[in-house]
Protein backbone atom coordinates (compact mmCIF):
# COMPACT_ATOMS: atom_id res chain seq x y z
CA UNK A 1 0.00 0.00 0.00
CA UNK A 2 1.16 3.48 -0.78
CA UNK A 3 2.67 5.44 2.08
CA UNK A 4 3.07 9.19 1.96
CA UNK A 5 5.38 10.87 4.42
CA UNK A 6 5.46 14.59 4.82
CA UNK A 7 7.89 16.60 6.88
CA UNK A 8 8.10 18.64 8.86
CA UNK A 9 4.72 18.26 10.57
CA UNK A 10 4.91 21.65 12.22
CA UNK A 11 6.79 24.67 11.02
CA UNK A 12 7.07 28.09 12.55
CA UNK A 13 9.04 30.68 10.65
CA UNK A 14 9.51 34.39 10.48
CA UNK A 15 8.30 36.53 7.65
CA UNK A 16 10.83 36.94 4.89
CA UNK A 17 12.48 33.56 5.44
CA UNK A 18 12.62 30.60 3.07
CA UNK A 19 11.84 26.97 3.79
CA UNK A 20 11.07 23.68 2.07
CA UNK A 21 8.45 21.07 2.88
CA UNK A 22 9.15 17.53 1.74
CA UNK A 23 6.81 14.79 0.58
CA UNK A 24 8.13 11.24 0.12
CA UNK A 25 6.03 8.40 -1.22
CA UNK A 26 6.63 4.70 -1.40
CA UNK A 27 5.39 3.45 -4.78
CA UNK A 28 5.06 4.59 -8.36
CA UNK A 29 2.60 7.43 -8.66
CA UNK A 30 0.43 8.76 -11.46
CA UNK A 31 0.45 12.33 -10.18
CA UNK A 32 1.00 14.38 -7.08
CA UNK A 33 -1.00 17.27 -5.65
CA UNK A 34 -0.30 20.00 -3.16
CA UNK A 35 -3.22 21.47 -1.22
CA UNK A 36 -3.66 24.24 1.27
CA UNK A 37 -6.17 24.05 4.12
CA UNK A 38 -7.16 26.97 6.32
CA UNK A 39 -8.73 26.22 9.73
CA UNK A 40 -12.29 25.04 9.41
CA UNK A 41 -12.15 25.04 5.64
CA UNK A 42 -11.84 22.44 2.92
CA UNK A 43 -8.86 21.95 0.64
CA UNK A 44 -7.63 24.50 -1.87
CA UNK A 45 -5.71 23.07 -4.80
CA UNK A 46 -2.27 24.61 -5.24
CA UNK A 47 -0.41 22.45 -7.71
CA UNK A 48 -0.71 19.23 -9.65
CA UNK A 49 2.54 17.64 -10.79
CA UNK A 50 2.34 15.07 -13.53
CA UNK A 51 5.82 14.14 -14.64
CA UNK A 52 9.40 13.77 -13.50
CA UNK A 53 11.13 17.11 -13.25
CA UNK A 54 7.89 19.07 -13.19
CA UNK A 55 8.21 22.44 -11.52
CA UNK A 56 5.35 24.84 -10.91
CA UNK A 57 5.35 28.21 -9.26
CA UNK A 58 2.60 30.45 -7.97
CA UNK A 59 3.60 33.55 -6.06
CA UNK A 60 5.88 32.62 -3.16
CA UNK A 61 5.28 28.89 -3.53
CA UNK A 62 7.13 26.55 -5.87
CA UNK A 63 6.54 22.81 -6.16
CA UNK A 64 8.73 20.23 -7.81
CA UNK A 65 8.58 16.51 -8.47
CA UNK A 66 11.31 13.89 -8.73
CA UNK A 67 9.61 10.61 -9.59
CA UNK A 68 12.85 8.64 -9.47
CA UNK A 69 13.45 9.68 -5.89
CA UNK A 70 9.70 9.58 -5.19
CA UNK A 71 10.00 13.01 -3.70
CA UNK A 72 8.15 16.26 -4.08
CA UNK A 73 9.07 19.57 -2.48
CA UNK A 74 7.09 22.68 -1.74
CA UNK A 75 9.43 25.64 -1.38
CA UNK A 76 8.35 28.81 0.36
CA UNK A 77 10.17 31.98 -0.58
CA UNK A 78 10.14 35.10 1.60
CA UNK A 79 7.23 33.88 3.69
CA UNK A 80 4.40 36.20 4.62
CA UNK A 81 1.75 35.82 7.30
CA UNK A 82 -0.94 35.02 4.74
CA UNK A 83 0.80 31.76 3.97
CA UNK A 84 0.00 30.44 7.45
CA UNK A 85 -2.08 27.29 6.87
CA UNK A 86 -1.77 23.53 6.73
CA UNK A 87 -0.27 22.15 3.56
CA UNK A 88 -0.94 18.63 2.34
CA UNK A 89 0.64 16.61 -0.40
CA UNK A 90 -1.48 13.88 -1.94
CA UNK A 91 -0.34 11.10 -4.23
CA UNK A 92 -2.50 9.33 -6.78
CA UNK A 93 -1.70 5.75 -7.74
CA UNK A 94 -3.49 3.04 -9.69
CA UNK A 95 -5.04 5.96 -11.58
CA UNK A 96 -7.70 6.46 -8.96
CA UNK A 97 -6.56 5.98 -5.38
CA UNK A 98 -5.33 9.01 -3.51
CA UNK A 99 -3.39 9.08 -0.27
CA UNK A 100 -2.62 12.17 1.73
CA UNK A 101 0.44 13.09 3.70
CA UNK A 102 -0.02 13.98 7.37
CA UNK A 103 0.12 17.67 6.59
CA UNK A 104 2.51 20.46 7.53
CA UNK A 105 1.12 23.13 9.79
CA UNK A 106 2.86 26.35 8.87
CA UNK A 107 2.84 29.43 11.05
CA UNK A 108 4.49 32.57 9.74
CA UNK A 109 5.28 35.11 12.40
CA UNK A 110 5.90 38.81 11.85
Partner 1 sequence: GAVVSQHPSWVICKSGTSVKIECRSLDFQATTMFWYRQFPKQSLMLMATSNEGSKATYEQGVEKDKFLINHASLTLSTLTVTSAHPEDSSFYICSARDFQLTGELFFGEGSRLTVL
Residue numbers at the binding site for partner 1 (CB under 8 A) = 33, 35, 40-43, 45, 48, 88, 92, 96-103, 105
Look at residue 83 and give its three-state secondary structure: helix
- Specify whether the CB–CB gap between 82 and 67 falls below 8 A: no
Shortest distance in whole angstroms from residue 95 CB to partner 1:
9
Shortest distance in whole angstroms from residue 82 CB to partner 1:
20
- Of 60 and 99, the one with the shorter C-beta distance to partner 1 is 99
- Specify whether the CB–CB gap between 11 and 106 falls below 8 A: yes
- Of 60 and 105, the one with the shorter C-beta distance to partner 1 is 105
- Of 55 and 102, the one with the shorter C-beta distance to partner 1 is 102
Q: Kindly tell me the sign of the dihedral angle through the C-alpha atoms of 23, 28, 50, 33.
A: negative
Amino acid sequence: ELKVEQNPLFLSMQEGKNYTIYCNYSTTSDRLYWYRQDPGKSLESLFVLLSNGAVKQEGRLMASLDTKARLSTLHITAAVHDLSATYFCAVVYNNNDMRFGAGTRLTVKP
